[in-house]
Structure 1
Amino acid sequence: MIHMVKLCVGVSSVEELESYHNERAHWWDADYGEDVHVHRTRMMPKRAAEMEGKASIYWVIAGVIGVRQPILRLAQFTDAEGKNYCDIIMSPDMVRTVPYPKRPFQGWRYLPPADAPPDLAANGNEGAEEIARDLARLGLI
């Protein structure tokens, strides 16, 4: 299994990302007829078989990984001009993670499970989000 990490460009908070849940799929004419969140990216991952139904996409929002969404499947999409894309079809469930700083990068990257931040609800990490916000405000992370 391998996860994916992606910058959430133009979004400033997890709450803002959650608000896009119902809008994004319609912007791209990518209605899969079910309650899912769809994100379109240019390239299909070569390791797609390791992701579908097993992995998550970890979102980098304002320089911090703070939430993940389980990847249900990946679908190829071809637009009217013949350009191929990859639709990342995710569960609408957003699982907050222990905040983890991440520098900007282009596109998406693979994220080995050993490097993925743990869920906030796991192992008593519930207060970590507020502490990380305070540290970030102080410029320490």
Structure 2
Amino acid sequence: MALHILKLCVGVDTVEDLEAWIAHIRADRARDGHEHHFHTTRMVPQRKPEILEGGSIYWVIKGTVQCRQRLVGIEPFTDGQGIGRCRLMLDPEVVRTHWQPRRPFQGWRYLKPDDAPEDLGGSNVLAEMPPKLRLELAELGLL
């Protein structure tokens, strides 16, 4: 069974913001010769085999898990300052999930499959709702 990673999505207010950021960063990296989409972290996941069995990174946006991206690789490396880092290689497709409240935390956490929110699937009222309205409803505790 695949293991997932849970991570705060800092500087993003909506899933649409995340999707726009991904498109922007992929275009920049393509100009620099990088083909793949990745997120850089300091720590290397120790449970790499379990994660790569179909795991995803679940993004916490404004206090709720709202979406995920499939993890397709984990690449440790040393940066220009000699500091060990890790690239979490991601499928660029963002999959919306049911919202699940989460308290703030630092870094990332493992997320068991049983604790992960389900995908929204095809047509869903929540996915079609304007982002500002979704955020206001979530702040009121209605989502």
TM more than 0.5: yes
- Band the TM-score falls in, shorter-chain normalisation: 0.7 to 0.9
Per the alignment, residue 101 of structure 1 pairs with: 101
User: What letter is aligned with 1:127?
Assistant: V
Moved over 3 A (4+): 22-27, 128-135
Give yes or no for contact 1:66–1:100 (8 Å, CA) kept in 2: yes
**Counterparts in 2 of 1:1-141, with a 5 A limit?**
1-24=2-25, 26=28, 32-33=34-35, 36-121=36-121, 126-128=124-126, 130=129, 133=135, 135-140=137-142
Aligned residues: 136
User: What letter is aligned with 2:54?
Assistant: K
User: What letter is aligned with 1:84?
Assistant: G
CA-based RMSD of the aligned residues comes to 2.5
Give yes or no for contact 1:2–1:112 (8 Å, CA) kept in 2: yes
**CA displacement 1:55-108 (0-9 Å, x = unmatched):** 000000011100000000000121112111010010011100001111100000
5+ long unaligned stretches in structure 1: none
Give yes or no for contact 1:56–1:69 (8 Å, CA) kept in 2: yes
After TM superposition, the score normalised by the length of structure 2 is 0.82
User: What letter is aligned with 2:65?
Assistant: I
Tell me the CA shift for residue 135 of structure 1: 3.8
After TM superposition, the score normalised by the length of structure 1 is 0.83
**Paired-residue identity, %:** 43
| Rounded Cα–Cα distance in structure 2 between residues aligned with 1:104 and 1:8 | 11
Please give the secondary structure, in 2, of the residue aligned with 1:98: strand
Give yes or no for contact 1:99–1:132 (8 Å, CA) kept in 2: no
5+ long unaligned stretches in structure 2: none
Give yes or no for contact 1:24–1:39 (8 Å, CA) kept in 2: no
